[in-house]
Structure formats: structure tokens, C-alpha cells
Amino acid sequence: MREKVITIDLVDLKIVEEHIALITLNRSEAANAMSKSLLDDLNHTIQKVNQNTDIYCTIITGSEEKAFSAGADLKERKGMTEDQVIAAVQYIGETITTVENMRMPVIAALNGVAYGGGLELALACDLRIAADHVKMGLTEVSLAIIPGAGGTQRLPRLIGLGQAKRLIYTAKPVRAEEALTIGLVEQVAEKDKLYDETIQLAKTIASNGPIALNQAKTAINNGMQTDIASALTLEHSNYKKTIPTTDRMEGLIAFSEKRRPEYKGK
């Protein structure tokens, strides 16, 4: 395994197995709460990952076992004016949307609690794996506010209207097993196996054609926002973009030669 670690203050970036990026929120003393500084570093890290065409899959996790992210930094918010609070929430939302729009599949590895903006960050990822001890929830209404970084929109699209309203209206977190049952996460792992199982999933994804992964993600995400007829047209458009690629020919040749393909993203 070849690993290279880049630390950008509150966010660590590690390149694993050449084609996998591991982004770690590194503010464990504050439960990886989303301060402006952390968001700045996360945006910078996302930009670096998106510019690296050798990365085919990205994992986002939190440092240690306490928290993936407890959400917004409420201590930082105490001294803000109302306009500053609105701007801060908007910045969280914009950052989370940037994660959603990353060109490759993104996996959230929930190593600890994911509350409020922390869960909203996970919702913007393509897949979610939670350690079996983890709790998660959109707890904002208990603070007399609502989820403001995409939670009221992404959660119903993921788990359905009724379950989303239950989680948001009660503000009560759910445990990993219940999250799996209602479709909030796609996989649950034992705490000490979370890293290995997440890396294995990322390796499986990254073994496939990177252009195809990007086009599949685009087709799925954009298609979910429109009617089925328009979505099928979008799918066809994204499919056509894979046809002239060198990777497509490599896949066919590798299949005929009964070997693993070596995709280059071209």
C-alpha cells in the first residue's frame, strides 16, 4: 500500500492505494464541529482531490472514535449577529454541496456521532458506512432552528418523506442499526473494522472505470431531480460520453483476455 499524508491544518488528506483519497476531519477536541476554519480547510482539500485525476474514489471520516462531526460550531456562533449566523449556515451548505458535486464517488465513514451539519455532510456523500456504536440525527429543531445545510431536502430523498419527518420533527438521533433499517446508511461495521471495510468498498469502486463512475454519478444525481423521461435522456447522454474512451476498449480487451482491466481515466 502506498500512502501519502497531507495535513491542511484541520483536515488530513491521505492517498491510499494510489486511487483512493481519505479525507479526515481533524478537530477532535471539538467533536469535529464545523468552524469556519475547518470549512476553509475542507474546501481546499476537496479542490486538491478534484484536481487529482488519479483519484477514483474518496472517503470522508472523522478523527478518533468520538465524532464524525457534531455539526455546526455553536461556540463560534454565540458571538455572531443574526446576519453572521445566516452567512455561516450558508457556508456550511455550500461546502456540503461541493462535496456532493465531487466528480468521483464519495463514501462517508461514520466513525462517531453525526449530528446536524455532520449528518448533512454524510447525506451529501454517495454512500454511508457507520460503525456499530454510532448515533446520528438532525437535531436542529431542539435548538429552535431547522436543518439549514440540505437536511430537509436530502434526507427525504434518501429515506422517504415519513421517516425524514420523524427524524427531523423529533430531533432524536438513531443508532447505526436503525439507520441501516431505514436506509439512512448502506452498511454497518464493527467499530474496529470500519476502516478496513470502508477501504475495501473504496477499492472495489476504484477498480472500475473512472470516467464511467463519474458519468454514472452524474446520471443518477441529475436524473433524481427530474421526471423519468427526461432522466432517461440524461442517462443516454452520459452513456455516450463513455463510448469514445480508451478505458472502454481496455475493458473489452481485458474481458476477452480474462484479466483485470487497467483503467487510466482516458
Catalytic residue positions? 120, 140
Ramachandran region, residue 64 (left: φ > 0; alpha: ψ -120 to 50; beta: rest) = left
| Beta-bridge partners for 188 | 130
Distance CA 123, CA 3 (A): 27
Beta-strand runs (E) in 37-87: 57-62, 67-69
Task: Tell me which DSSP letter residue 74 carries.
Answer: H
Element (H, E) at 128: strand 127-131
Distance CA 23, CA 59 (A): 6
CA torsion 98-102-105-111 (nearest 10°) is -40
Among candidate residues 187, 185, 245, 260, the one with its CA nearest the CA of residue 215: 245
Contact assessment for residue 201 and residue 186, using Cβ atoms and an 8 Å cutoff: no
